A = this chain, B = another copy of it.
């Protein structure tokens, strides 16, 4: 988008800076109110009318969802609603979509999908359960937002409806999980789903309930009371603590230069001429606190939480602000023992609300790694600490390389990886199983073998033997092998690599989440390349111009 207001897209924000959302808490119930500032978008190319959204709106939503989980342990139900009269949300802004580059559209959709999945994660795993009070029409992405919540109420004013008009209006799909959630979450009958997705005006009233598109419809006079009662009812079933104090998210401390982003626990080094970036994760420099209360007192400086926030920001920075970086190298620095001590601390205190939040935040951040459209290569060298949680970066990578023995003049012990319980459960991938289970789909006994090695330092050859590492090289070969591998990788077509990785990374079971990122997103990306949508005569380009799009009628 040529007229983007700032060069760098920024994901850090806070409620006092929101232009599009308000968080209002009232004891155990919070309201998340969408009230989009038409002039508050990322670009001056469009106005965000009728609560339509662009990335700037979703960045705030993502921030709000995270903060509600951490800053408001007392909140057990979150009501999503609109701050505008008669409209809930008109979906993604169409002028924005019409003007955006293909790359931005794809990245935008991925991020919004992740945000909606984080709503479901909050409902399911934090028992901070979301419901939507659709107090006006929810069209397209507006209804898709509602679909991500556990309960959908629609006001019965004989006008407000839910709809997915993308296909008839714009020649694209309801691609932010819309179709998948209609068929696989709400399990709407396929012919009714087809009718619904082909009907611009959508559905309302009893029929919307009968088709399972919404959970209830309430007349206007009883609306406010019904929403309150429903939220209370949902809150009552939560297991969240009643007397806990939240952890405040302070601004991330970052130093951004032209070629690096330096956080506390993460450093990103960018080599644009080589098409790569290195993410160096630093292990903890201290031992874990002595109790969960003490961890809570550390607030957002508690190492695993800081790591989750910083790694997430680093990944998003690379996705959105470094499109020509096609390869990420993962390195770590620190003591394996220190990482494992923190893992153990989180596990031992697993019943504490904050530890639960931290674990799920790390899980979500690792999932962001999984769906990042860049090649991932992990490098295990002396001085690294690929252990427990940080070893997940190895298993999230397309390849992991390990150095055998020592480097000349380096007195540190040979590189070793160390497995922990964290590699066997707490961080499932989107497909519902762990990275090691996915890795060893064809040899499940290898998971058990790996488990027997928990806590033992595994050097190069042994790690290869156990199937945990792709290849190990002696110091003599390391530099050349790595250079050749990198040069080869970045010489391939970026698109073919994106498709290859999207298929190779997700063996095994499929879930609604993998269906959204695999099937639905892939079809949407295809459609986002088709002239019928994005050509000069395409529906996305011509929308609002009064000119009817001209379609190539050939079916592919």
Contact = CB atoms under 8 A, between A and B. Distances in A.
A107 B168 CA distance: 24
A297 B510 CA distance: 45
B556 A494 contact: yes
A260 interface: no
Contacts of A527: 495-496, 499
Interface in A109-132: none
Contacts of A501: 194
Interface stretch (A30-38, A54-62, A383-391, A518-526): A518-526
A500 interface: yes
Interface string A492-505: 11111111111111
A5 interface: no
Contacts of A526: 495, 499, 522, 525-526, 529
A323 interface: yes
13 contacts: A167-B500, A168-B488, A182-B504, A189-B442, A191-B400, A194-B399, A194-B500, A198-B489, A326-B555, A496-B527, A522-B522, A525-B526, A525-B556
Given A493-B171, A499-B523, A519-B522, A373 B325 contact: no
Interface stretch (A172-180, A245-253, A447-455): A172-180
A425 interface: no
Contact of A532 (B180, B495, B515): B495
Interface string A467-482: 1001000000000000
B442 A212 contact: yes
Report the contact-size class of chain A (Cβ under 8 Å from the partner). Answer: 35 or more
A173 B496 contact: yes
B171 A551 contact: no
A446 to B, nearest CB: 9
A551 to B, nearest CB: 5
Contact of A503 (B488, B498, B502, B523): B523
Contacts of A184: 441, 507-508
Contact of A555 (B182, B374, B519): B374
B470 A398 contact: no
A131 B47 CA distance: 61
Given A183-B503, A195-B470, A498-B556, 19 more contacts: A103-B554, A106-B556, A107-B556, A170-B496, A171-B492, A171-B495, A179-B500, A190-B439, A191-B398, A191-B470, A194-B398, A323-B556, A490-B553, A493-B530, A493-B532, A495-B532, A499-B524, A499-B526, A502-B523
Given A167-B497, A518-B519, A553-B324, A503 B399 contact: no
A539 interface: yes
A433 to B, nearest CB: 13
A97 interface: no
A151 interface: no
B502 A519 contact: yes
Interface string A206-240: 00000010000000000000000000000000000
Interface string A257-271: 000000000000000
Interface in A3-40: none
B190 A492 contact: no
A438 interface: yes
Given A189-B440, A492-B171, A504 B373 contact: no
A94 interface: no
A332 interface: no
Given A492-B167, A522-B526, A526-B529, A373 B555 contact: yes
A533 interface: yes
A75 interface: no
A555 B324 contact: yes
B554 A494 contact: yes
A529 B498 CA distance: 14
Nearest to A467: B189
A492 to B, nearest CB: 6
Given A470-B195, A529-B526, A554-B323, A190 B373 contact: no
A275 interface: yes
A493 B552 CA distance: 8
Contact of A439 (B172, B189, B324): B189
Contacts of A509: 510
Contacts of A338: none
A367 interface: no
A442 B186 contact: yes
Contacts of A508: 184
A487 B324 CA distance: 44
Nearest to A188: B442
